[in-house]
């Protein structure tokens, strides 16, 4: 096996939550290009059609499953569908997420709970369902955020708390499942990449933040983040577990 072969995902089966838009689409396309069949999960199943076409264009099979990750039963049904179609689950990319920017004195319990339910609880239920069927050599990649490690000038208590919790969840699952199940669990903490959430920022916010704190002074290319997902999912990342990999253009070092 050459060094480049280690980055391949040939004939692996990858589940990606939140695959209907934004970074989830990039992750699905990248995994398919690396050789994987992809199970696409999202609440808006009709929006998965475009993602599925990208997977098929790369020469791989796609299965779309309507899934709300806050419901443990739906996460189990997602894994059951993957097992029925492909007979295995090798990789989970826990990408489903939502965010708010509400001042702490005005944030309602429902607003806070909604963010935590999707970002933290949803990641746990999806990981739990996959962990039951994954074989040794499998990999889970949780999507955290730099806002789980630092602040960025917006009132995002629920989002930041949920993404910080993903870091702890990643470490714990890695130590639980590493030697006993042979499953690696890592997280990625992205900086600023184009997504539905960044579309909601006030005009000029991203430019000002990146000019002040970004070492590379630009937003990230989704392909740069997707490449990190493929690395952690593949044999190239075979000795990496329990880690949170920051991909942020230097925002967290300033």
pLDDT tens digits, one per residue of 80-135: 999 999 999 999 999 999 988 889 999 999 999 999 999 999 999 999 999 999 99
What are 31's two structure tokens? 């995994």
What kind and span of H or E run contains 157?
helix 157-181
Q: Which residue of the set 124, 159, 205, 239 is catalytic?
A: 159
CATH number at residue 221: 3.40.50.720
Whether 150 is covered by a domain: the verdict is yes
Whether 252 is covered by a domain: the verdict is no
Examine the residue annotation and report whether 159 is marked as an active-site residue of this protein.
Answer: yes
Output the pLDDT for position 210. Answer: 73
Tell me, what DSSP letter sits at residue 106? T
Whether 211 is covered by a domain: the verdict is yes
Identify whether the C-beta of residue 157 lies closer than 8 Å to the C-beta of residue 184: no
Whole-number Å distance between alpha carbons of 192 and 53: 26
* pTM of the shown model: 0.94
Identify whether the C-beta of residue 125 lies closer than 8 Å to the C-beta of residue 73: no
List the domain range (segments joined by +) for residue 178: 5-245
Output the pLDDT for position 199. Answer: 60
Whether 235 is covered by a domain: the verdict is yes
Output the pLDDT for position 198. Answer: 60
Whole-number Å distance between alpha carbons of 6 and 34: 10
Specify the number of domains making up the chain.
Answer: 1
Output the pLDDT for position 227. Answer: 98
Whether 173 is covered by a domain: the verdict is yes
Whether 149 is covered by a domain: the verdict is yes
Residue 177 φ/ψ, nearest 5 degrees: -105, -5
Spell out, as residue ranges, where the chain has pLDDT lower than 70: 195-202, 211
Whether 35 is covered by a domain: the verdict is yes
Output the pLDDT for position 158. Answer: 95
């Amino acid at each position: 096996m050459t060094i480049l072969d280690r980055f391949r995902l040939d004939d692996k089966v990858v589940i990606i939550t939140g695959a209907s838009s934004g970074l989830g689409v990039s992750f699905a396309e990248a995994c398919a290009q690396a050789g994987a069949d992809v199970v696409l999960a999202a609440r808006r199943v009709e929006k998965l059609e475009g993602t599925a076409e990208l997977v098929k264009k790369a020469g791989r099979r796609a299965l779309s499953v309507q899934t709300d990750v806050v419901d443990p039963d739906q996460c189990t049904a997602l894994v059951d569908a993957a097992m029925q179609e492909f007979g295995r689950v090798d990789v989970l990319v826990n990408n489903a997420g939502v965010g708010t920017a509400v001042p702490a004195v005005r944030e309602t319990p429902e607003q806070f709970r909604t963010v935590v339910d999707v970002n933290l609880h949803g990641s746990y239920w999806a990981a739990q369902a996959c962990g039951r069927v994954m074989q040794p050599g499998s990999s889970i990649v949780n999507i955290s955020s730099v806002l789980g490690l630092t602040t960025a000038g917006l009132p995002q208590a629920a989002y930041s708390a949920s993404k910080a919790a993903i870091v702890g969840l990643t470490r714990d699952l890695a130590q639980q499942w590493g030697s006993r199940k042979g499953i690696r669990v890592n997280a990625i903490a992205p900086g600023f990449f184009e997504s539905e959430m960044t579309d909601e920022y006030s005009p000029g916010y991203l430019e000002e933040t990146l000019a002040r704190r970004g070492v590379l002074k630009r937003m990230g290319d989704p392909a740069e983040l997707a490449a990190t997902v493929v690395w952690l999912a593949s044999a190239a990342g075979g000795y990496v577990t329990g880690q949170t990999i920051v991909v942020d253009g230097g925002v967290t070092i300033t």
